[in-house]
Amino acid sequence: MAETETKTVENEALRIVSTSPHAHSGSDVQHIMLDVIIALVPAFLVACFFFGWDAIRLTFACVLGCVAVEALCRKAMGRDLGIADLSAVVTGILLAFNLPPSIPTWMAVVGSVFAIAVAKQVFGGIGYNPFNPALVGRVVLLISFPVAMTRWSQWTIPSPIGTVDAVTSATPLGLVKTSLLSSGTLPYSFDNATMLQMFTGATNGCIGEVSAAALLLGGAYLLWRRCITWHTPAFYIGTVAVFSAILWAVDPSHNMPPHFHLLAGGLMLGAIFMATDMVTSPVTLKGMAVFGIGCGVLTMVIRKWGGYPEGVSFAILLMNSITPLINRATRPRVFGHARKKTPDKK
C-alpha cells in the first residue's frame, strides 16, 4: 500500500458550518447567462450574414453600453460591481437584436442606458426588476425615435436561396398593416418561397429576429441545458398559432395564415428569449403556461387591431406587469392539503 501521510483534522480547519444541504447542483447565475449567450450565437451569425457591419456595430454598442451602465450604477450605489453575472451582456445582445439595422449607434446607447439604469438598477438590480430590461430599452426608443425605429433600409438580400430582391422597405408585418389600412387588402399571398425566406432570415426586420431557424436552434440549446422549460415558448407560440388560425379561417382575405404569423416579426425571439426571462416571468410551471398564453393573445390583438404592426414587445411587457399576480394565482396545491375544488371535509 502506498504510504500516505495521515493527518488529523484540525478543529480550527472546520470553519464552514453552514446549514444543509451541503451539496449543490453546481449551477449558478453566470453559467445560465453564458448559456443564453451561447444560444444567441446562431441568430447573431445570421444577423451578421444579412446585415453585415450593422449587426456587429449595434450588438457591440448595446453590450458595451449595458455593461458600462451596469458597472457605473453599481459603483454609484456603492455596491459590488455585479457585472460578472453576465446578465448585462445578455440584456445588451437582446436589445441590439430588437433594433432595426439602420439605427444610429448613439440611439442604441440611449436604449442601453434606459434598459440598465432605469429598468433594472433603479429597482435594485438583477432579480428585482419587474420588466424585461431589453424590452424597456426597445420601447423607449420606439416611442422616442419612431422614425428611426421603423426605417427599414432597402437592400438586396444575398439569400441562400438565390439572390432575392428585397422588394420591400418594410417588415412583412408592417407591409400587411399598411396594405390593410390603405387598400383593405393583403399585400401578397404567402407562398412557400416567402415562407422559406422568413424561416431562414432573408427578410426585413430587427437584426436578431429575422431567422426563425437560428432562434429555434438557440431555443433547443436552452431546453437541453435546462435554462428554460418548454412551457412559456410552447404556450406562447401555440396561442399565436391558434388565434391566427381562427382569424384566417373566418376571414382569409383580410388575415395572413398562421404560419406567416409564427415566422413574422419578433415572435420567435420574444417567445424563446424574452418571455422566458427568468426574473420577469412566473416561477411556477402553470404560471409560465398562463404567461405564454397571455403573451400570445396580446401579441395577436395588437397585430390585428393595434396601431403598431408588431405586438411582441408590448405583450411581454404587459404580462411582466402581472407576473406577481400570476405567481400568486398559480401556487401549486401543497402536498397533503385538500384539493381546492373537492371539499372532502369529514
Kindly indicate which of the ranges 97-105, 142-150, 237-245, 280-288 contains the residues binding another protein, using the contact rule CB under 8 A: 280-288
Q: Is 8 in the site for another protein (CB under 8 A)?
A: yes
Kindly indicate which of the ranges 11-19, 70-78, 194-202, 234-242 contains the residues binding another protein, using the contact rule CB under 8 A: 11-19
Compute the least distance from the CB of residue 236 to another protein, in Å.
16
Q: What amino acid is encoded at 137 in this protein?
A: G
Reading phi first (left if > 0) and then psi (alpha if -120 to 50, else beta), residue 26 is in left
Angle at 312 between CA 212 and CA 272, to 5 degrees: 45
Q: Is 284 in the site for another protein (CB under 8 A)?
A: yes
User: At a CB cut-off of 8 Å and minimum separation 6, what does 33 contact?
Assistant: 85, 86, 87, 89, 90
Quick one: which of 132, 280, 299, 320 contacts another protein (CB under 8 A)? 280
What are the backbone angles phi and psi of residue 27, rounded to the nearest 5°? Answer: -80, 150
Q: What amino acid is encoded at 44 in this protein?
A: F
C-alpha cell at 251: 376571414
Q: Is 333 in the site for another protein (CB under 8 A)?
A: yes
Size of the site for another protein (CB under 8 A): 50
Q: Which of 197, 204, 177, 212 is nearest to 101 (CA)?
A: 204
Quick one: which of 18, 163, 189, 342 contacts another protein (CB under 8 A)? 18
Q: Is 105 in the site for another protein (CB under 8 A)?
A: no
Quick one: which of 34, 164, 285, 318 contacts another protein (CB under 8 A)? 285
C-alpha cell at 238: 401555440
Quick one: which of 52, 127, 158, 252 contacts another protein (CB under 8 A)? 127
Q: Yes or no: say if 67 and 89 are a contact pair by the CB < 8 Å rule.
A: yes
Q: Is 336 in the site for another protein (CB under 8 A)?
A: yes
Quick one: which of 121, 171, 211, 281 contacts another protein (CB under 8 A)? 281
DSSP strands (E only) in 186-276:
none
Q: Which of 91, 87, 96, 37 is nearest to 61 (CA)?
A: 96
Q: Is 344 in the site for another protein (CB under 8 A)?
A: no
Return the number of the residue (146 or 332) whose C-beta is nearest another protein.
Answer: 332
Q: Which residue's C-alpha cell is 449607434?
A: 105
Per DSSP, what are the bridge partners of residue 157?
164
Compute the least distance from the CB of residue 41 to another protein, in Å.
21
Binding mask 26-55 for another protein (x = CB under 8 A): xxxx-xx-----------------------
Q: Is 224 in the site for another protein (CB under 8 A)?
A: no
Reading phi first (left if > 0) and then psi (alpha if -120 to 50, else beta), residue 201 is in left
Q: Is 192 in the site for another protein (CB under 8 A)?
A: no
Q: What amino acid is encoded at 144 in this protein?
A: S
Rounded CA-CA distance 32/38 in Å is 10
Q: Is 172 in the site for another protein (CB under 8 A)?
A: no
Q: Is 327 in the site for another protein (CB under 8 A)?
A: yes
* Binding interface with another protein (CB under 8 A): 4-9, 11, 13-29, 31-32, 85, 124-128, 229, 278-285, 288, 327, 331-337
